[in-house]
Amino acid sequence: MKMQKTAVLVKPDGLQRGLIGEIISRFERKGLKLVGLKMVSMTDAMLSEWYAEHRAKSFFGELKEFMGSMPIVAMAWEGVDAIPVVRKLVGTTLGREAEAGSIRGDFGMSQQLNLIHASSNEADAKREIDIVFNVDELFEYSGAMECVVYAEEERVG
Ligand code: CMP
């Protein structure tokens, strides 16, 4: 049990599908706290850093081109175990197989056009948040609902 921040990108297909509000709403309803939100055009340099692990893949160029083709919406969400919680809400990569009830499971059919990105682990979350957010674009505030979202002993870190 650990207080974590995680990065989410609503990809160009999610923006075009008009899913920004739906996606924000799902994370809000879950009890996560929004600590950063911006619309950004990802540059080739940002995308090369973001997708460094896919550098050798055949789709690397295509992926960067798509992600840079229009603005994306970047978010940072905070909560206890926020990284796995958000990944569960997002669903598995391939939309056709993603669990019903997850974002990809409810709205996606594709592997490439899978609407949304969510950080995989703590190191990636930190790296990804640093790529898109300046320090003054991340916020600390006390969440009014925290006392009803978490029990006392769960409000850690
Ligand atoms: P994500 O898991 O967020 O990060 C890597 C992304 O690469 C993945 O989402 C897809 O959007 C994309 N991707 C995965 N497989 C392919 C593929 N075969 N061709 C193009 N893009 C892909």
Test site for ligand 1: of 47, 51, 55, 63, most ligand atoms within 8 A of the Cβ: 63
Instruction: Tell me the domains of the chain and their CATH numbers.
Output: 3-156 (3.30.70.141)
Q: From ligand 1's centre to the CA of 112, what distance in Å?
A: 5
**Cα 90-51-17 angle, rounded to 5 deg:** 45
Whether residue 83 is predicted with pLDDT greater than 80 in this model: the reply is yes
Sorting pLDDT into bands at 50, 70 and 90, what band is 155? confident
Q: Do residues 41 and 71 touch, judged by C-beta distance below 8 A? A: yes
Q: Is 54 a catalytic residue?
A: no
Q: From ligand 1's centre to the CA of 135, what distance in Å?
A: 28
Mean pLDDT for 77-102 is: 98
Sorting pLDDT into bands at 50, 70 and 90, what band is 112? very high
Q: What was the pLDDT predicted at 157?
A: 61
Q: How far is 8 from 133, CA to CA, in rounded Å?
A: 12
Q: How far is 115 from 40, CA to CA, in rounded Å?
A: 16
Test site for ligand 1: of 15, 112, 113, most ligand atoms within 8 A of the Cβ: 112
pLDDT in tens, 118-154: 999 999 999 999 999 999 999 999 999 999 999 999 9
**Count of all residues that appear for the chain in the document:** 157
Pick the atom of ligand 1 nearest to 63's CA.
21
Query: Which among 84, 86, 107 has a CA at the least distance from the CA of 95?
Result: 107
Q: And the tokens for 79?
A: 């909560």
H helices of the chain, in order, are: 12-16, 20-30, 44-50, 60-67, 82-90, 103-107, 122-132, 146-149
Whether ligand 1 lies within 6 angstroms of the CB of 16 is answered as no
Q: From ligand 1's centre to the CA of 49, what distance in Å?
A: 15
pLDDT in tens, 9-50: 999 999 999 999 999 999 999 999 999 999 999 999 999 999
Q: In sequence order, what are the beta bridge partners of 75?
A: 8, 37
Predicted TM-score (pTM) of this structure: 0.95
Query: Which among 77, 58, 78, 156 has a CA at the least distance from the CA of 116?
Result: 77
Whether ligand 1 lies within 6 angstroms of the CB of 59 is answered as yes
